[in-house]
Amino acid sequence: MKVELRNVTRAFGLNRVLDDVSFEAEFAHVLALIGPSGGGKSTLLRLLAGLDRPDSGAILVDGTALERSEESLRLYRRTIGTVFQAYNLFPHLSAMDNVVLPLVEVHGLSKADAAARADEVLRRFQLIAHADKQPGLLSGGQRQRVAIARALAIEPKFLLLDEPTSALDPEMTAEVLDVIAELRDLGKPIILVTHEMGFARQSADLVAFVADGGIRECAPADTFFSNPATPETRKFLEKILKY
């Protein structure tokens, strides 16, 4: 898939989180966005997810520009799967009903078809034993896997994952990363904001470094980590790979 930003600016008050960003990336499997906190990664992902609009500039996904009206953005959001850091699931519904809800209410499946589809994705991620549990009874890792299952069940064109493991302990992180690796093998394109450098290096086609209101560098994962092109990237990688 292909994403393109043309002179995108997004400011919150005086803080220009993204400042006149132009960028183009074409990849088959995974685009990883890395960078320091507050550097604009999540803002960029929210723009790509159609949850937010740029103040100026254009965003193109596979050659089509995102429109600005809430109605057209809603239609766009229905074609993609987005997963946040935490609290994706609706706490009053079971894991199963969380997956079924968008299928029935948004995508017009019958209850039986939706249940069958939900059953299939929960089974694929070894979650079927937890289908009837509410999110409060699941571990953090299980919750994120259900959230990914919900996003995948609508058969999205691609997935957007915003630091899906940052609220988890190492064991649960591994269990969620396994699922993401599985999605990669399914051939579903993924744009992933992450702090897991090892995972980015191993499974991303392209890695983009987002900092100081812009995309400083975007390169194939191997080149990015072994031979970073900009001093900012080098400094960032040195700092986080030190320990």
Element (H, E) at 241: helix 231-241
Among 13, 63, 108, 136, binds other proteins (CB under 8 A): 136
Based on the shown chain and the rule CB under 8 A, indicate whether residue 82 belongs to the binding site for other proteins.
yes
Residues 35-54 close enough to bind other proteins by CB under 8 A:
49, 51
Q: Quote helix, strand, coil % in the chain, to nearest 5.
A: 40, 25, 35
CA distances from 124 to 14, 121, 187 (A): 46, 5, 15
- Closest approach of other proteins to the CB of residue 173, in Å: 19
Based on the shown chain and the rule CB under 8 A, indicate whether residue 90 belongs to the binding site for other proteins.
yes
Displacement of CA 188 from its chain's centroid (Å)? 12
Residues 166 and 13: their CA atoms lie apart, in Å, by: 27
Based on the shown chain and the rule CB under 8 A, indicate whether residue 86 belongs to the binding site for other proteins.
yes
Q: Which stretch binds other proteins (CB under 8 A): 26-34, 88-96, 186-194, 201-209?
A: 88-96
Among 89, 131, 192, 206, binds other proteins (CB under 8 A): 89
- What is the maximal distance between C-alpha atoms in the chain? 55
Helix residue ranges, H only, 107-164? 111-124, 140-153
Specify the residue, 105 or 120, whose C-beta has the smaller distance to other proteins: 105
Q: By CB under 8 A, name the binding residues for other proteins.
A: 49, 51, 74-75, 77-78, 82, 84, 86-92, 101-102, 105-106, 134-137, 150, 154
